[in-house]
């Protein structure tokens, strides 16, 4: 029995190896390795695709969040509202600039921040909301933007898992004041290393972020502010230009696979698959299943050489590092329930049809608690 990985990222880069190697060669020969033509071209193409005025590439998705928060002046004493059900980096970036993450429970269908619960957490110190488009599906952006307008808050999308996702016909990355993406290898649009970007149509912000990523400098050796060194390498930009050609086909494949899982698993009593949210295109960075028998089910799959994984086992409000924020178990019950019921099964453009059939067969063969 061959092992089926959760994400077959190795296959992705093996299949694209020739074009990657030739772009690497071109970069080496160009003699320009930092902020050169490839970065310029990638930023231009991405801005055009997503429908924003500016794209600023940076070192990784976490830096994209940190630099955006920093550029908006968010700092000590400020509060930023976000979801407890995300990768740690979302909250880490808030803490990194000195602000306090305020966690709001999630919606039980989309697993994204629940807009109905945001207003009660807004205080005079609240400066921004960071919704995460979790697993590749956009958050309820209309409701979030309405609240943000009312209280004059900045909205920063964490779109790290959602390249190509749409909401009411607009791309994720174009749904708030600014958005942050990651090009980590396993993301829908990824490279063979770290990378990230900020997308925005706020040109003031774009200017500040461009300064921040490059030591606060616009003219070489002249520094206006204290910045960072956080740039996307030319090498990765050239690889991402290749990946960008394929991303729409890859995302479509993910959607087809998700539909097939839904079709085959819809009447299984120990499995719940949440319906897609209205007015949006889900790009299935991960395909997650709810089950009260999750742990047994995952163990069962592993016997068939099928990898599965928990996203996320500990919601952020209960992380050790945030114990000083004084959340208790039970405070954010939906997130806590998902942390014990949700798990991801293999999906991706490089999962073969017969492999998906094997995953489905194994899930169907599970007897339940016997």
Ligand X SMILES: *Cc1c(COP(=O)(O)O)cnc(C)c1O
| Residues tagged active-site | 187
Of the listed pieces 3-11, 43-51, 54-62, 210-218, which binds ligand X according to CB under 6 A? 54-62
**227 vs 43, 66, 168, 223, 342, CA distance in Å?**
20, 11, 36, 9, 39
Q: Which is nearer to ligand X, 316 or 362 (CB)?
A: 316
Q: Which is nearer to ligand X, 196 or 346 (CB)?
A: 196
Q: Which stretch binds ligand X (CB under 6 A): 84-92, 101-109, 120-128, 362-370?
A: 84-92
Given candidates 87, 111, 287, 366, which one binds ligand X under the rule CB under 6 A? 87
Give the nearest distance from C-beta 285 to ligand X in angstroms: 8
Verify binding: residue 101, ligand X, rule CB under 6 A.
no
DSSP, res 74: -
Minimum Å gap between C-beta 364 and ligand X is 30
Distance in Å, CB of 319 to ligand X, minimum: 15
Q: Shortest CA distance to 59 belongs to which of 11, 93, 23?
A: 93
Nearer to ligand X, 184 or 350 (CB): 184
- The 3-state DSSP class for residue 4 equals strand
Q: Is the peptide bond before 312 cis (omega within 30 degrees of 0)?
A: yes
Per-position x/- string for 191-230, each x denoting binding to ligand X as judged by CB under 6 A, each - no binding: ---x-x----------------------------------
Dihedral of alpha carbons 147, 149, 151, 152, sign = positive
Give residues with Cβ within 8 angstroms of 49, minimum separation 6.
171, 244
B/e letters for 26-59, b = 16+ CB within 10 Å, e = fewer, are: ebeeeeeeebbebbeebbeebbebbebebbbbbb
Cα(8)–Cα(29) distance, integer angstroms: 31
Give me the helices (H) in 166-246, please.
203-212, 234-244
Nearer Cβ to ligand X (62/137): 62
For position 165 contacting ligand X by CB under 6 A, the verdict is no
* Nearest-5° Cα angle at 81, 79 to 82: 135
Q: Per rule CB under 6 A, is residue 132 in the interface with ligand X?
A: yes
Residue from 86, 112, 214, 308 binding ligand X (CB under 6 A): 86
| Number of chain positions touching ligand X (CB under 6 A) | 15
**Per-residue tokens: 183:** 């090009």
Which residue number, 175 or 363, has a Cβ lying nearer to ligand X? 175
Q: Is 158 in the site for ligand X (CB under 6 A)?
A: yes
Residue listed under structure tokens 């109905």: 116
d(CA 229, CA 108): 39
Single out the residue of 167, 184, 311, 350 in contact with ligand X (rule: CB under 6 A): 184
Say whether 94 sits in a helix, a strand or coil: helix
Q: Determine, following the binding rule CB under 6 A, whether residue 43 of this chain makes contact with ligand X.
A: no
Smaller CB separation from ligand X, 161 or 291 = 161
Judged by CB under 6 A, does residue 61 bind ligand X?
yes
Asked if 311 interacts with ligand X (CB under 6 A), we say: no
Span from 59-67, 73-81, 106-114, 221-229 in contact with ligand X (CB under 6 A): 59-67
Q: Which of 182, 251, 274, 356 binds ligand X (CB under 6 A)?
A: 182
DSSP string, 252-293: HHHHHHHHHHHHHHTT-TT-B-PPPPTTEE---SSEEEE-TT
Q: Which residues bind ligand X (CB under 6 A)?
A: 60-62, 86-87, 89-90, 132, 158, 160-161, 182, 184, 194, 196
């Amino acid at each position: 029995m061959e092992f089926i990985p959760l994400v077959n990222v190795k296959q992705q880069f093996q299949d694209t190896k020739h074009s990657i190697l030739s772009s690497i060669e071109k970069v080496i020969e160009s003699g320009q390795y930092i902020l050169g033509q490839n970065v310029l071209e990638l930023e231009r193409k991405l801005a055009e695709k997503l429908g924003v005025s500016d794209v600023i590439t940076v070192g990784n998705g976490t830096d994209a969040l940190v630099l955006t928060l920093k550029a908006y002046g968010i700092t000590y004493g400020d509060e930023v509202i976000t979801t407890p059900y995300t990768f740690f980096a979302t909250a880490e970036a808030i803490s990194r600039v000195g602000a306090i993450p305020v966690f709001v429970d999630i919606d039980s269908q989309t697993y994204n921040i629940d807009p109905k619960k945001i207003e009660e957490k807004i205080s005079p110190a609240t400066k921004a909301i960071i919704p995460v488009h979790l697993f590749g599906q956009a958050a309820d952006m209309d409701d979030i933007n309405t609240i943000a307008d009312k209280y004059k808050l900045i909205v920063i999308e964490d779109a790290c898992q959602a390249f190509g996702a749409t909401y009411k016909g607009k791309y994720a990355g174009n749904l708030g004041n600014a958005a942050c993406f990651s090009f980590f290898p396993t993301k829908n649009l990824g490279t063979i290393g770290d990378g990230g970007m900020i997308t925005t149509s706020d040109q003031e912000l774009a200017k500040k972020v461009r300064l921040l990523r490059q030591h606060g400098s616009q003219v070489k050796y002249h520094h206006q502010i204290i910045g960072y060194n956080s740039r996307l390498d030319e090498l990765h930009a050239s690889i991402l230009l290749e990946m960008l050609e394929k991303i729409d086909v890859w995302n479509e494949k993910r959607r087809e696979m998700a539909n097939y899982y839904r079709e085959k698993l819809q009447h299984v009593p120990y499995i719940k698959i949440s319906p897609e949210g209205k007015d949006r295109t889900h790009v299935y960075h991960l395909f997650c299943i709810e089950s009260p028998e999750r742990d047994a089910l995952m163990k069962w799959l592993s016997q068939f050489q099928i990898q599965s994984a928990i996203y996320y086992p500990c919601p952020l409000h209960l992380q050790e590092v945030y114990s000083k924020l004084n959340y208790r178990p039970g405070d954010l019950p939906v997130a806590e329930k998902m942390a014990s019921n949700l798990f991801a099964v293999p999906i991706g453009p490089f999962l073969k049809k017969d492999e998906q059939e094997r995953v489905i067969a194994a899930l169907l063969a599970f007897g339940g608690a016997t």
